[in-house]
Structure 1
């Protein structure tokens, strides 16, 4: 099961305050390319299944490690694409919304989105 920003906020006791996080199945930044993302994830899933097959068939360690590296890079690339879409969609939406609100409330929303994106980047760097 995957954890979304909305799940994390709810688990922390915070309620999502923006349209991006409030709609678990709504128009997220990746919505326009959802089919492409699913295709890419299926390809990565195939790579992982290939790893299982390699271990089952007692393939040479270095060959398996090479495939692990390729799979890791594929996931990292996917994560960066998703992060970029989050920044373009959710963070940009927060900025537009802040322009329509008072400066303090809008600034807090932007700060929250930047902090959320920064935490996601930190998690990506730890892996």
Structure 2
């Protein structure tokens, strides 16, 4: 059974949806562990807001979540550059550089 791919009308997005990553099981587990921790931090922040915790404490927790997400993003970016990007360049697909630059710009906002 093949996965269903949503049609957005954007060929670039459609092609990107067809690609898969090359993460090892160790890397997947590491990323999932980090994301589960971040998910718990988000729930904690929601609870802090519900309990009317002092704003500065909440803001510090938000900064911690942002830092943790940035860390996940850096790990993914590193793996992407060392595998997917190199592979596509070796195949002669230099458009991957523009894709990478767009992604990096989004991550740096």
Tell me the TM-score normalized by structure 2: 0.82
Q: What's the C-alpha RMSD, in Å, of the aligned pairs? A: 2.3
Gaps of 5+ in 1: 1-5, 98-105
SS in 2 for 1:40: helix
Conserved 8 A contact 1:29-1:89: yes
Q: Could you list the runs of 4 or more consecutive aligned residues of structure 1 that deviate by over 4 angstroms after TM superposition?
A: none
Q: Which residue of 2 aligns with 1:29?
A: 22
Q: Which residue of 2 aligns with 1:13?
A: 11
Tell me the TM-score normalized by structure 1: 0.71
CA distance in 2: counterparts of 1:75 and 1:115, whole angstroms = 23
SS in 1 for 2:11: coil
Question: How many residues are treated as equivalent by the alignment?
Answer: 103
CA distance in 1: counterparts of 2:83 and 2:17, whole angstroms = 11
Higher RCO, Cα 8 Å, sep 6+: 2
1:94 is displaced (CA, Å) by: 1.3
Gaps of 5+ in 2: none
